[in-house]
Amino acid sequence: MRTITAQEVKKMYPPRPVQSRKYDHGLMLVIGGSEYYTGAPAIAAFAGFRAGLDMVRILAPKRAADIIASFSPVLAAYGLDGSHIEKKDVSFLISRTMAAKEIARGNVSILIGNGLGRDEETQEAIKEYLAAIDLPCVIDADAIYAVAERPEIIVGKPFVFTPHSYEFFELTGKNVHGLPQEEKIELVKQEAARLQTTLLLKSHIDIVSNGSEVILSKTGTPYMTVGGAGDSLAGILGALLARGIAPLEAAAAAAYINGKAGELATKKFKDGLIATDIIEEIPHIIS
């Protein structure tokens, strides 16, 4: 077990070669949003850009996609029919995923779950989609609940889950709230081994494990309980995965970057902190 350091994170951002091309530093596909939840995919996308991505594409129900696209000219959002993602959308999502992999020359990641909602059909669509792909993927928020019903679809795939304590309970059936730190660490390690995946348990000390190794991140502040802070973490993680960083190291680095950016933002805003304040500090951590 070890704690990730600033030096390790810096090594993930070497100077770019003079002849760099678009997509050399990653394309992230964000699948999220619903009729009532439009901000989460946008926050994740902005965080991904600030964490070094060359491009983000968002796939969301039409109302959410239209709102997201209006936030900034850098956000590319494709609108799906309906108020939420349905099973009929799965084949299109898969085809767009394979197209993203091809255009990015393999430098691709997926982020799924942010703002999707827990409509029964949406949850079924998530499971069907994840069962069909085998690319680096961040599974966050509402997608965690879907996988909890069919954990066999994730075995051995380069996926990373980013649960808080209640989502961890939904995924594993194990309650970590209030446990001593040593017991939390051991439980995260055990469950990562059982599920054959990488887990990032969000807490005051973030715990990352792939079932054999454990890395801690001790950055962050109590002011980061604000809505959207988890979406920014997910976006940073997606950026690192798209840049070719292995899941365990990417998860630990994302937790460090998000927490350290939150520390800088907290110095300015304290109780007035919002998620976009965290995002604006990301370049100061990675540069």
40 is in an annotated binding site: yes
Q: What is the pLDDT of residues 155-172, one digit of tens each?
A: 999 999 999 999 999 999
CA distance 44 to 47: 5
Sign of CA dihedral 282, 209, 7, 9: negative
Report all structural domains of the chain as residue ranges with CATH numbers, in order of start.
Answer: 23-286 (3.40.1190.20)
204 is in an annotated binding site: no
pLDDT at 124: 97
The secondary element (H helix, E strand) that includes residue 136 is: none
CA distance 255 to 282: 12
Residue 137 and residue 159 in contact, taking contact as beta carbons nearer than 8 Å:
yes
pLDDT at 109: 98
Q: Is 82 exposed, middle or buried (0-12, 13-18, 19+ CB in 10 A)?
A: middle
pLDDT, averaged across the chain: 97
115 is in an annotated binding site: yes
177, pLDDT greater than 90 = yes
Q: What is the pLDDT of residues 266-279, one digit of tens each?
A: 999 999 999 999 99
273: closest CA among 229, 217, 239?
229
Beta strands in the chain (DSSP E): 2-3, 27-31, 55-61, 76-80, 108-112, 137-139, 159-161, 198-201, 206-209, 214-217
235 is in an annotated binding site: no
164 is in an annotated binding site: yes
CA distance 216 to 154: 23
170: closest CA among 185, 189, 186, 191?
191
Residue 132 and residue 90 in contact, taking contact as beta carbons nearer than 8 Å:
yes
pTM for the predicted model, two decimal places: 0.98
Q: Which amino acid is at 257?
A: I
CA distance 44 to 232: 5
Q: Which amino acid is at 232?
A: S
| Alpha helix ranges (H) inside 120-273 | 120-132, 142-149, 165-172, 181-195, 229-242, 247-269
The residue to which tokens 């446990």 are assigned: 179
End-to-end CA distance of the chain: 27
pLDDT at 149: 87
pLDDT at 198: 98
**What mean pLDDT do residues 207-212 have?**
98
**What mean pLDDT do residues 237-249 have?**
98
pLDDT at 278: 98
Q: Which residues contact 101 (CB under 8 A, 6 or more apart)?
A: 108, 135
